[in-house]
Structures are given as structure tokens and as C-alpha cells.
Chain A
């Protein structure tokens, strides 16, 4: 049972990570910096609860603000470039953040042990949940409350004019400019929202794993962040959730019985998925079909 609860926690946190990239991808930008914001959130929230004994929610709020502020600060210069240049620039930023934490040590004596991040060895003993008597189920509920809130907000945003403007920029920057949209402002805002979500996700991640180290926030995590929304499709937030379940649940955990072969299949299935469904698992076509099915059922019930 605990195994499945653990899996549900992982899926929740990775959904947040994927959604942070989703916002940026809507504007047509591929950012590999999300793992960096995630790392900042993780270290900051961890240090606040462990070293300063702050309550978790407060620490997460600070993580969110810092993640957003950092994304905004990076976004202004970085979004002047686009395409491959942006991919590499954001990857460089993400790696710089990771390497910063690789070299970052700030430890405080607490009783017999030293607490706090310790360079390459990472940041151990983030024991907020056990210390405050949270069971695994409590943690799952906590994580998913936040995930549902974030998803609901993004869903709502998608339906609003904000979502339409983000997509307009993503589709054709020149046309967007010519219809009076300030594309720099839009892209930086999307990046900031992404940074906020990644910051929250990182903060939660630090607390349920209890031990973070720089290597977890590398280019692989950044790739996963963009992989979820791309694989799931950019039509709506559920695509991202579906892709996280597909990758984390089905491919990584569900195929455990395959042993070593699982990892082989993992890369192969991504390649296959992109060949068969280049616009993502939940693309506009599937959505149309779903909509039609739902409305037909509705009619039948009405009749």
C-alpha cells in the first residue's frame, strides 16, 4: 500500500513540474530551466523548515515567490532569444543552479548532528513530516490538494483571455505583436507563473523525499519537465497529468517486472509515441471525439 501512496506522491509532484513547463510551452518557448526553479524551491523550503523551523505552508509560499522571482529575472534576458538558443540558454541556467547547490554548504549544529545543505553530499534530514506526525496518507492528501488547486487555476486560466493570449503568442509571435500583444510581457509572465509552480513543486519534493542532492535536479529532470506536457499535448492541463501517469506510473513503476529491460522500453516508447502522435497523447482531435461522445450521451439522457 505504501508503495502506491509513494507513487501517488511522485505523480503529484511531477505533475506540478510538468505544469510549470506547460505554462511556458503555451507561449511556444521550450525552457530547460524548470529543474533549476524546482531546485531553488526544494532547497529554500527545506532550509526554512529545518533550520528556521518555519511551518511548511509558509515555507512553500516563500519557495513559490522565490521561484517566480528567479524565473522573472531569468526570463527578461533569456526570452530575447528563441528556439534552440533559448533551449540552450535555459539549460545553461538550470545547470548553473544545480552546480551552485553542488558547491553550496550551509550547516548548523543541532544537538549531535549538523543540519543543512552540504555541497555534493546534499541536504539530508528534512524531517518535517515525521516530526510533525504526518502519516503517508496525510502527505498524499496535502500534495494532491495543492496539485488540484494548481490544475484548477491553470484550467481556468486556459479558458480565460490569458490562455488565449498565451496561445496566440505561441502560435505566431509576429501576428501577436501586430494585434497589439506585448509579447515580451506575455512570455515573461508565463515564465514567472511557471517558476512559481516549479518552486512549490520543489518545496514539496524536498519534504517527501527528506533528502535532496544536486544530481536530482540535472538536465534529465529538466527534460522530463518539458516531456510531460509535450507528450500529453498542449490542449489542456489534463494532458500533462495523463503523461505523468503514463511515464511515472506505467513506464517507470508499472514495468518494474521487466527488470533492466524497463529502461530500454522507456526511451523506445517515447520515440514511438512521438511518431504516432506528434501532437501529444491528448491532441485536439482526441478532445473533439471525447466532446462529441459526451454530448451524444447527454442528448440520450435528455431524450
Chain B
């Protein structure tokens, strides 16, 4: 491999890592909900894309600068998160994990179909910020839009970590995730914590959806399934319930994805990701940081 190839390889990995923040945010969302409810919310990525769509809708009604779109996406994500909890979780008995799995699949399909229905399935352009900026560092070029996505992702994660580890709400959330009954006895309203977790993860998801749109330059309902799969992969590789794990795994998956794409082309890229994941899961089922190991 000569030097130029090496530079190209590193360049593509770097791009992938920058975009990987999106995966990291999605992974955090899955992980948080799993942590609190011990349930999978399969509609999470679809709701995130849905939130990004909703922000476009609002933008088309009111003329606003592009930054506002991101805020709108976050707000819409929060609302959607709350709705998902009400419709897909609240009334289904906790002892029935298969039922919530299925109800969130139903929600995933429902959200996708609402999007298809309102847009007639046509991909929509999404405003990208700083897409014309390119920062050269030595032989490498960092794309402005990806940089923006990366920075936004990092800010979002920092805020989330502060929220979880520095506020009373965060304390309650972590308490519920570890000992639901004991927390209830200590006067923590589980229902309230649950719904707040869904709203918070919804906000994170909305931002992730907007970031995806900004990085790719468009939105399509076809994004939600691949994002669901990637988000789950990140969650699992990072270790169920581990937020730092999800962040690292998100960046790693983003980097690897572009690496394989560079080596073997776009059609084979995911094949290697999937095989790697399968091997990883089977031989290191606890994830990068083994937080939830030994817990059923």
C-alpha cells in the first residue's frame, strides 16, 4: 500500500468516525431505555428520523434559519419519545418482553408509513451546515458538515452525561435502572422517570436524526431500518446499559464502516460489519465495557 492509499484510507476512516457520533447518539438512546425499562425500543431510530422530518415540516411552514431546524428536531423527538412510551409501553404488562418488542416493531412500521404517506416516499433535502467549509490538516481534509455533526454530537453527549450524573433526575433514573422496587419504596415515581427517560432519549434521537440528515444532505424513510440495525449494533458492542461504551462503539462502527467501504466497495461493506459483529457478540458478549455482564 503506497502513501496515497494510506492517506485515503485514513481520510475515509476519519470521515466515518466523525459521522459515527450519530451512531453513538442512537446507541445511547437504545442503551438508556434498555437501562431503565430492561426493554428494547425498536422504534427509536424510526422516531428519530421522524423527528427530523417533523422539523422540516415546521421549517416549511415558518421561515427560519437552519440552526432552528436542529432545535425543532430535538423538540419533535422529545414529543415523539413520550408518545412512543404511552402507546408502546405504558399499557403492556412488564412481564411480557415479547409484547413490547412487537409493539415497538408496529410503531416502527407506523412511523415509516406516516413518513412515506406524507412525503409520497420522495427523499427530502435536509439543510446542511458548513457544507462548503473544508479544513485541510496536513494531507487530510476535514469536511465542515461532518465536523459540525461531530461537535454537535459531543456537546449533546456532554449535556446528557451531566444530566445523568449531576442532577437529581439523573440520580433517579440510575436508581430505577438498578433497583426498580427499591427506588419506588424510596419515593421515586417510576412512571415519571420512565416517561422522562423516553422524552430525553427522544430529544437525543431527534438531534441524531437531524445530524444524519445534515451529514447525508437528505432524509428518506429508507434510512430508519439501517439506522435501527446500526444503533442496536452500537448498543450491544458498547455493552448493554453502558453510555461510554455506546460512544466508543459508535465511533468505532462509523470508522470501520467507511474503512470497509473504502476497501471493498459499498455493496460489501455491511457484510463485513455484520460478520464482525456476530463474532464479537459470540466471543465477547459483555461488550467493550462489561457493565451488564451476568445480568439476564
Write out the residue numbers on chain A whose beta carbons fall within 8 Å of the beta carbon of B225.
Answer: 218-220
- In A238-261, which residues have CB < 8 Å from any B CB? 260-261
Segment with Cβ contacts to A, from B60-68, B105-113, B186-194:
B105-113
Q: Are A85 and B240 in contact (CB under 8 A)?
A: yes
Known A-B contacts A84-B236, A89-B281, A95-B229; A268 and B106 likewise in contact (beta carbons under 8 Å): yes
The answer to whether A91 has its CB under 8 Å from any CB of chain B is yes
Write out the residue numbers on chain B whose beta carbons fall within 8 Å of the beta carbon of A270.
Answer: 102-103, 105-106, 109
The answer to whether A120 has its CB under 8 Å from any CB of chain B is yes
Write out the residue numbers on chain B whose beta carbons fall within 8 Å of the beta carbon of A223.
Answer: 105
Give Cα distance in the complex from A274 to B235, angstroms. 25
Total contacts A-B at CB 8 Å = 137
- A interface, by DSSP: helix, strand, loop or mixed? helix
Segment with Cβ contacts to B, from A7-15, A53-61, A96-104, A198-206:
A96-104
Q: Are B278 and A103 in contact (CB under 8 A)?
A: no
Q: Are A84 and B240 in contact (CB under 8 A)?
A: yes
Q: Which of A89, A92, A263, A271 contacts B116 (CB 8 A)?
A: A263
Give Cα distance in the complex from A85 to B237, angstroms. 9
Chain B positions 142 through 177: 1 when the CB is less than 8 Å from some CB of chain A, otherwise 0 = 000000000000000000000000000000000000
Give Cα distance in the complex from A15 to B131, angstroms. 49
Give Cα distance in the complex from A223 to B112, angstroms. 15
Q: Are A102 and B114 in contact (CB under 8 A)?
A: no
Q: Are A267 and B113 in contact (CB under 8 A)?
A: yes
Interface size class of B (residues with CB under 8 A): 35 or more
The answer to whether B5 has its CB under 8 Å from any CB of chain A is no
Q: Are B277 and A89 in contact (CB under 8 A)?
A: yes
Q: Are B274 and A99 in contact (CB under 8 A)?
A: yes
Q: Are B110 and A267 in contact (CB under 8 A)?
A: yes
Give Cα distance in the complex from A100 to B267, angstroms. 10
B interface, CB within 8 angstroms of A: 34, 40, 87-88, 91-93, 96, 98-103, 105-114, 116-117, 225, 228-229, 232-233, 235-236, 240, 267-268, 270-271, 274-275, 277-278, 281-283, 285, 296
A interface, CB within 8 angstroms of B: 25, 30, 77-78, 80-85, 87-89, 91-93, 95-96, 99-100, 102-103, 119-120, 218-220, 223, 226-227, 230-231, 260-261, 263-264, 266-275, 278-279
15 sample A-B contacts, Cβ–Cβ < 8 Å, listed by A number: A81-B281, A87-B40, A87-B232, A92-B233, A92-B274, A96-B278, A99-B268, A219-B228, A227-B105, A231-B102, A263-B113, A267-B110, A270-B102, A271-B87, A278-B99
